[in-house]
Amino acid sequence: MSKIKMNPIVEMDGDEMTRVIWQEIKDELLSPFLELNTEYYDLGLPNRDATSDRVTVEAAEAAKRLHVAVKCATITPNAQRVEEYKLHEMWKSPNATIRAALDGTVFRAPIMTPRIKPVVSTWEAPITIARHAYGDVYKATEYRVPGPGRAELIFTGKNGESFRETVYDYECAGVLQSMFNKDTSIEAFARSCFEYALSVRQDLWFSTKDTISKQYDQTFKFIFQRVFDAEYAEKFAAAGIEYFYTLIDDAVARVIRSKGGFIWACKNYDGDVMSDMVSTAFGSLAMMTSVLVSPDGNFEYEAAHGTVTRHYYRYLKGEQTSTNPVATIFAWSGALRKRGELDGNRELADFAGRLESAVLGTINSGTMTGDLALLCRDPDVKKVTTAQFIAAVRKKLEG
């Protein structure tokens, strides 16, 4: 059987358990079937440190050039990681760097299988969370305030116009933070959401706390409405879908009572938190896919979970872990399908579909990793290691 040819995609390798699984997926599920063509960037923490994090910036630039990227989970360093890896600096989150470079929106959707019932019994279809991937608390400036004094917010305009406002007159020590966002990024966010909703023909919900944040959050609400009215109202009507704005508190209540099958657009922090809640309620964080879509049509696919550190430490001791590779496999299949779509490479897009079917077929036949076995009460379930699961998927793919 001749292997399927493809144009290059950007491959961003990562850390710990997911780095191990990354290699297994390539060896067992991709290379035997494809002439796998990637431009490789090692975003593992040791190489980020060795390159002063230049490798992350280069990988993001490559994603803009090749339009399709697939990324492994990576460590976001904290004080403990600086110590553990003897880092020169506490490098920024690679995801934050890549998101900023692409100015895109992250769409996270659960992978559903009949074997795993969502905790919320009314959910019948996936809920996709669209997370604004720019600014807010992720790019905030913050201080520990050492003691009494005045905090002020100052804006100095290019044309000389400026504003100054007292934030707080501290009578004791405390904390202080300032966040920013910009209209161009919010507009790009809105456009990505409306475009994505049209492409999957699902309603789009958007929520903020505009009753409390009368400048910041209200700006998001107004920009969404303006872009919708000017560019999307007719297209949505023609597609039979709706755009709907509500307060985030109301959205949370409605989401829990819903049947699913819509996109929920959230500001950066809300999207971070809510996607973990939604993915857990759908089953497992390990069954959540994530794609960063930039308004000019670049796509970066990854799993929503992290590097699964606790499993990695057990792996280092020689244990065969039962870490779920499904979201990482779907990151690859998502990227390969998109490459196929963009290039008119039908064989490649078909392969992506067959790979996903093989994964879902394996789970439906009762073979799954421990995290899923815990959620699935069926008596015929067989809990397997990562390597055994991947081998079972390969067998289905070959069969």
- Contacts with Mg ion, residue ranges (CB under 5 A): 272, 276
Under a CB-based contact definition with an 8 Å cutoff, are residues 194 and 232 in contact? yes
Choose the binding region for ligand NAP from 202-210, 221-229, 302-310, 339-347 (rule: CB under 6 A): 302-310
Q: Does 288 bind ligand NAP (CB under 6 A)?
A: no
Q: Is 317 exposed, middle or buried (0-12, 13-18, 19+ CB in 10 A)?
A: exposed
286 binds, among Mg ion, ligand NAP, none (CB under 5 to 8 A by kind): ligand NAP
Distances (CA, A) of 121 to 110, 283, 288, 380, 381: 15, 12, 18, 22, 21
Choose the binding region for ligand NAP from 154-162, 292-300, 303-311, 340-348 (rule: CB under 6 A): 303-311
**Closest residue to Mg ion, Cβ-based?**
272
Quickly count: other Cβ atoms within 10 Å of residue 318's Cβ: 6
Residue 225 corresponds to which tokens in the numbers above?
Answer: 């409405």
In angstroms, the CA 18 to CA 302 distance is: 11
Choose the binding region for ligand NAP from 74-82, 116-124, 157-165, 204-212 (rule: CB under 6 A): 74-82
272 binds, among Mg ion, ligand NAP, none (CB under 5 to 8 A by kind): Mg ion
| List 128, 202, 307, 367, residue binding ligand NAP (CB under 6 A) | 307
In angstroms, the CA 28 to CA 132 distance is: 35
355 binds, among Mg ion, ligand NAP, none (CB under 5 to 8 A by kind): none
Q: Does 323 bind ligand NAP (CB under 6 A)?
A: yes
Under a CB-based contact definition with an 8 Å cutoff, are residues 364 and 113 in contact? yes
Residue 102 C-alpha from the chain's centroid: 13
Rounded least distance, CB 384 to ligand NAP, Å: 12
HSE, side-chain direction, 13 A CA sphere, residue 138:
23
| List 42, 103, 136, 371, residue binding ligand NAP (CB under 6 A) | 371
**Which of 272, 356 has the CB closer to Mg ion?**
272
Residue 293 corresponds to which tokens in the numbers above?
Answer: 């879509």
| List 62, 75, 102, 133, residue binding ligand NAP (CB under 6 A) | 75
What DSSP letter does each residue of 280-312 carry, written as one string? HHHS-GGGEEEEEE-TTS-EEEEESS---HHHH
**Which of 112, 266 has the CB closer to Mg ion?**
266
Under a CB-based contact definition with an 8 Å cutoff, are residues 345 and 6 in contact? yes
7 binds, among ligand NAP, Mg ion, none (CB under 5 to 8 A by kind): none
| List 6, 34, 102, 285, residue binding ligand NAP (CB under 6 A) | 285
DSSP class of 2: P
Residue 374 corresponds to which tokens in the numbers above?
Answer: 């815990």
43 binds, among ligand NAP, Mg ion, none (CB under 5 to 8 A by kind): none
Rounded least distance, CB 202 to ligand NAP, Å: 24
**Which of 97, 202 has the CB closer to ligand NAP?**
97
Choose the binding region for ligand NAP from 23-31, 72-80, 183-191, 199-207 (rule: CB under 6 A): 72-80
Q: Does 367 bind ligand NAP (CB under 6 A)?
A: no
Rounded least distance, CB 362 to ligand NAP, Å: 15
Q: Is 163 exposed, middle or buried (0-12, 13-18, 19+ CB in 10 A)?
A: exposed
Nearest Cα residue to 300 out of 308, 291, 309: 291
Please state whether beta strands 299-303 and 68-71 pair in parallel, antiparallel, or not at all (unpaired). parallel
| List 88, 214, 310, 395, residue binding ligand NAP (CB under 6 A) | 310
Rounded least distance, CB 36 to Mg ion, Å: 30
In angstroms, the CA 265 to CA 22 distance is: 30
Binding interface with ligand NAP (CB under 6 A)? 73-76, 95, 285-286, 302, 305-310, 323-324, 371
